[in-house]
A = this chain, B = another copy of it.
Amino acid sequence: MLNPLVRAIAVAAPLPSLGDNTGDLDRLKKVLAPQLDGVMPVVPYHRLSKVAGRFRAAGFTGAAIINEMSGSSVLVDFLPQPPPVLAGMALDLGTTHLEATLLDLATGAVLAGADLENGQIRYGADILTRIHHAAKGDGLAELHRAIIDSVNQLAAELAKASGLAVSEIRALSVSGNTSMVHFFLEINPYHLCREPYIPMVNAPDPCLAGELKLTIHPAAPVWFLPSVGSYFGGDLISGVLASGLDRQEETCMLIDVGTNAEVIVGNREWLIACAGAAGPALEGGVARMGMRAGPGAIEHVRIDPVSGDIEYETIGNGKPRGLCGSGLIDLVAELYLARLIDIRGKFRLGAAGDRLIQGSEGYRFVVVSGEDSADGRPVVLGQVDLDALMRSKAAMFAILTTLTNQVGVAFADLHRIYVAGAFGRHISPRQAIVLGMLPDLPLEIYEPVGNSSLVGAQRILLEREARERCLALVRKITYIELNVNQEFMLRFSGSRFIPHTDHGLFPSVPFFDGE
């Protein structure tokens, strides 16, 4: 049973007469109330004249459009006929990339999907740069306009693909990190990145699209997945919804890796979360040869430990253009297993032969020569990129150990580890274990949950239960701030080796000592 964020309710009201002189809008509300748990819907002032006028023009028969907002039913429109499709847009509001689907709110069917680079990138590739930009003059307004423009572009694409007008999109759900939601709402992100890291708001009340100058229907509700902290956003709450972590009897974990690594562990009784900077190594578009998981991205790598020959697979099977996150992890794990890098993640100069070249920024390893690549430029991995990955993987493992240690749970006690995001979709957990990024557990423990941010946004559009549940979730989750955690710092240092200084933690990974 769907309880979407917006509904069309068919109405055939008794006609006004001398014996029944109720006002037009009151007449409409009265016939709607029995279908809204007996409660009269509210009509905002700026919709009053439109709703009442259209109800009369339609001969008091047609379909009322009802938004569900902060506990009230809000009557925002009236159509002469129930619309063939009532469309809602679910949005994964990513730092580098936006992904969206258009849903039929009555059936839950996916009408279209689209994705787009976040237009804010011109003001800074990472969130921190953008937060600093927001503090300058018109910066916040610029960032706001950039993201609204991107979302409008995405909405236009979805509408076109579905044969609808963009104004026929009557709802929007937004799942994004806390900073992105601040930019989207044009509210000050200043304190997000300053101790003690406090958002202006975790759970904004829904607003209307018109208030944000979105080009979808101006009376479309915009519903935000709530955040838990500055570094634990609504996208993670989506992950909890999508994985069902909060309903499990046994203790499970959810991991999402991007620029930040966000982790939540718990079960239906308790949930504890933390987040830490994982560095940009795993974000396509940031590492030198990094790219998003798209056509031409190397996603799997195999290095023959004897011959040193490299095999790879690209997405779409075309010529390679770069490395996506999973390709990078595969590559580095294979470099380690082939003993081309050492336990500190440094190239072993004697081992790599002529694939290793010295450049102005240090050594670079040629994965694919220019002759074999898509654009004539070789696909390379620099020592700089490798160092960044080492920091990222160290941060990831330090976060996981600090968090589980806080609650006295051993990795072995985890029933399941959900891996979210593009990272989760493409990565081989085995290779991440080899690097010491993920705990050395049986591979069946790991379960990718895909773009759970988008999945969460979709469920918000369709299910009242999901909307209520995620608001309750935010209150239920205990959040640990890692930015100032001493234990984290210690564990981070210990994790800056492959697989770890304490190699007893990774019994399945070959350990090449003393190099």
Chain A contacts to B: CB under 8 angstroms: 16-19, 21-26, 39, 42-46, 48-49, 52-53, 56, 70-72, 185-188, 191, 195-205, 207-208, 211-212, 227, 229-230, 479, 481, 484
Whole-angstrom CA separation of A53 from B201 in the bound complex: 10
14 further contact pairs, Cβ within 8 A, besides A23-B227, A72-B72: A21-B479, A23-B199, A23-B203, A24-B191, A25-B200, A25-B201, A26-B202, A42-B205, A43-B205, A45-B185, A48-B185, A48-B204, A49-B185, A49-B200
Would you call A202 and B48 a contact (CB within 8 A)? no
Do A45 and B207 form a contact, CB below 8 Å, given A196-B21, A200-B52? yes
Do A205 and B16 form a contact, CB below 8 Å, given A21-B198, A229-B21? no
Would you call B24 and A200 a contact (CB within 8 A)? yes
* In-complex Cβ contact of A18 among B49, B196, B212 (8 A): B196
Whole-angstrom CA separation of A188 from B188 in the bound complex: 40
Would you call B198 and A49 a contact (CB within 8 A)? no
Listed A/B pairs (12) with beta-carbon separation below 8 Å:
A18-B197, A19-B481, A21-B230, A23-B198, A23-B227, A25-B202, A26-B203, A42-B205, A43-B205, A48-B205, A52-B187, A71-B72
Measured between beta carbons, the chain B residues less than 8 angstroms from A207 are: 44-45
Q: Tell me the smallest distance from the CB of A23 to a CB of chain B, in Å.
A: 4
Measured between beta carbons, the chain B residues less than 8 angstroms from A52 are: 187, 200-201
Measured between beta carbons, the chain B residues less than 8 angstroms from A48 are: 185, 187, 200-201, 204-205
Q: Tell me the smallest distance from the CB of A197 to a CB of chain B, in Å.
A: 6
Whole-angstrom CA separation of A459 from B356 in the bound complex: 84
Q: Tell me the smallest distance from the CB of A458 to a CB of chain B, in Å.
A: 23
Q: Tell me the smallest distance from the CB of A249 to a CB of chain B, in Å.
A: 29
Whole-angstrom CA separation of A18 from B488 in the bound complex: 15
* In-complex Cβ contact of A201 among B26, B198, B204, B205 (8 A): B26
Would you call A204 and B45 a contact (CB within 8 A)? yes
Whole-angstrom CA separation of A211 from B43 in the bound complex: 14
Whole-angstrom CA separation of A23 from B226 in the bound complex: 11
Q: Tell me the smallest distance from the CB of A92 to a CB of chain B, in Å.
A: 21
Would you call A196 and B26 a contact (CB within 8 A)? no
* Closest Cβ neighbor of A222 among chain B residues: B45
Would you call A188 and B21 a contact (CB within 8 A)? no
Measured between beta carbons, the chain B residues less than 8 angstroms from A49 are: 185-188, 200
Q: Tell me the smallest distance from the CB of A359 to a CB of chain B, in Å.
A: 42
Q: Tell me the smallest distance from the CB of A141 to a CB of chain B, in Å.
A: 12
Would you call A18 and B200 a contact (CB within 8 A)? no
Q: Tell me the smallest distance from the CB of A98 to a CB of chain B, in Å.
A: 21
Measured between beta carbons, the chain B residues less than 8 angstroms from A42 are: 70-71, 205
Q: Tell me the smallest distance from the CB of A403 to a CB of chain B, in Å.
A: 15
Measured between beta carbons, the chain B residues less than 8 angstroms from A45 are: 185, 204-205, 207-208, 211-212
Measured between beta carbons, the chain B residues less than 8 angstroms from A202 are: 22-23, 25-26
Whole-angstrom CA separation of A479 from B21 in the bound complex: 8
Whole-angstrom CA separation of A229 from B18 in the bound complex: 10
Would you call B25 and A481 a contact (CB within 8 A)? no
Whole-angstrom CA separation of A26 from B201 in the bound complex: 6
* In-complex Cβ contact of A198 among B16, B46, B53, B195 (8 A): B16
* Closest Cβ neighbor of A28 among chain B residues: B201
Whole-angstrom CA separation of A50 from B444 in the bound complex: 50
Q: Tell me the smallest distance from the CB of A439 to a CB of chain B, in Å.
A: 27
Q: Which of A202, A208, A230, A479 has the most CB of B within 10 A?
A: A202
